[in-house]
Amino acid sequence: MQTHISTTPFGRRAMTLGQIASQATAKAMPKEVTANKWRVFEDIRKAREMLGATDRSLAILNALLSFHRETELSADGELIVWPSNEQLIARANGISPATLRRHLLVLVECGLIIRRDSPNGKRFARRSRAGEIEQAYGFDLSPIVARAVEFRDMAEAVQAEKKAFRVARERLTLLRRDIVKMIDAGIEEGVPGNWGRVLQTYQAVIGRLPRTASRQLIEDICAELYELHAEIRDVLESFIKTQNPNANESQSDRHIQNSNPDSPSESEHCFREKKEASGSVAEIDNVRSLPKRDLPLSIVLDACPNLREAAQSGEIRHWRDFLAAAELVRTMLGISPSAWQEARKVMGEVQAAITLAAIYQRSDQINSAGGYLRSLTDKARDGKFSTWPMVMALLRAKLDEGKHRQTSEIVTSESGSRLEVSESLLKSLRRRDR
């Protein structure tokens, strides 16, 4: 008796060209082809995103495969299974009938199974008197065998993509760590260079990185960071080559000289500059009593809290953040690049940034920020300027302003943190009031 193999779905379900293509692929496969159903299922699981399958649909496919007795599926064997919805729901961990129907449709659209519906939509098999299956209506697993090689290639491609993505993220992490720490090293070791601008460039590149980025975008950002990494490393290596064996000692001596003026009168003269440059910046007496070391970042931020507003993240935790904020402040104050470059060359990167922060803190009292910076640069070139008196003047102004509320000898910063001041520093700050 001649039988007809159903190619269209039962009821109102429409036939699509994709379903016809899946049936044609299954029909054209050689009869000698075999495939291990669980190995193919594992490939499908790895490539599920590429196929468009879902976790639920794969759970149903796993249940369908379990209804076939053989582990090795053969093209010349019977590949149709006909479980009822109740049996499928039981083996798919008790999903709802609506969910079952929806994800069976997903499997059909992905080309993982083929519907072989009976005239009334029931799933069953008709057997001969010998017990052999003459006609079966249900789900055809032929695509599992016919597309086994395709699924394997897709799984390998997905794994390769995941590995490339992981390598790209690792490279990004290493580049970010190297760049940040090399910038810190350049700042702390006093290597000449516009580190604030370098950090701004780094932040601009990283700012284009979304929370979830594609591999291509990560690789593009890595390429830009690699160029920046090479530039920074060249600067550091060139600086090392130009230094003599006692470079660290000479560098430290230079910092100490910049932190201490030659005489108290010279410091006073610096802070009693003409009003055309500075307005009314307070003078500091007895400069020689100030500590002979670099200014800590916490003291500078306590004296110049307005700089926090200019920081891109609103926080300044390291000197590199401080330099980036100073670079933004420079443009806000209208200071020319040439004046800024000269200040950095004479004072050093950090000292110039501290000077700029102090100018920004008193910007309402300064008529020409650029002219004032040039004046301080000239004095620093002659060894008559230090950032210590300027910062201490700002701290003393804060102490005087809050004198009626403070009973202890503690300076409270705007960020809520507390800064303890040594007895010798307080004596220096209040010597003028005695």
Cβ(416)–Cβ(305) below 8 Å: no
User: Pick from 146, 176, 206: which residue ends a domain?
Assistant: 146
pLDDT of res. 352: 87
The answer to the question of residue 227 being in a domain is yes
Q: Say if residue 424 is in the same domain as residue 292.
A: yes
pLDDT of res. 232: 92
Q: Say if residue 142 is in the same domain as residue 175.
A: no
- pLDDT digit string, tens, across residues 149-172: 999 999 999 999 999 999 999 999
pLDDT of res. 421: 54
Q: Say if residue 417 is in the same domain as residue 289.
A: yes
pLDDT of res. 8: 60
The domain total for the chain is 3
User: In one letter, which amino acid is 135?
Assistant: Q
Q: Say if residue 359 is in the same domain as residue 210.
A: no
pLDDT of res. 389: 82
pLDDT of res. 267: 36
The answer to the question of residue 5 being in a domain is no
Integer angstrom CA distances of residue 328 from 298, 318, 325, 353, 357:
20, 16, 5, 11, 11
Which residue numbers in the chain have pLDDT < 50?
1-2, 4, 247-292, 404, 407-418, 432
Q: Say if residue 399 is in the same domain as residue 328.
A: yes
Q: Say if residue 77 is in the same domain as residue 107.
A: yes
317: nearest Cα among 161, 184, 162 = 184
And the tokens for 164?
Answer: 């490339």
Q: Say if residue 125 is in the same domain as residue 232.
A: no
pLDDT of res. 313: 67
Q: Say if residue 397 is in the same domain as residue 323.
A: yes
Q: Say if residue 264 is in the same domain as residue 230.
A: no
The answer to the question of residue 212 being in a domain is yes
Domain that holds residue 25: 17-146
The answer to the question of residue 8 being in a domain is no
The answer to the question of residue 370 being in a domain is yes
pLDDT of res. 397: 80
And the tokens for 86?
Answer: 């109740």
The answer to the question of residue 246 being in a domain is no
The answer to the question of residue 253 being in a domain is no
Q: Say if residue 223 is in the same domain as residue 131.
A: no
pLDDT of res. 425: 57
For residue 59, give the CATH number of its domain.
1.10.10
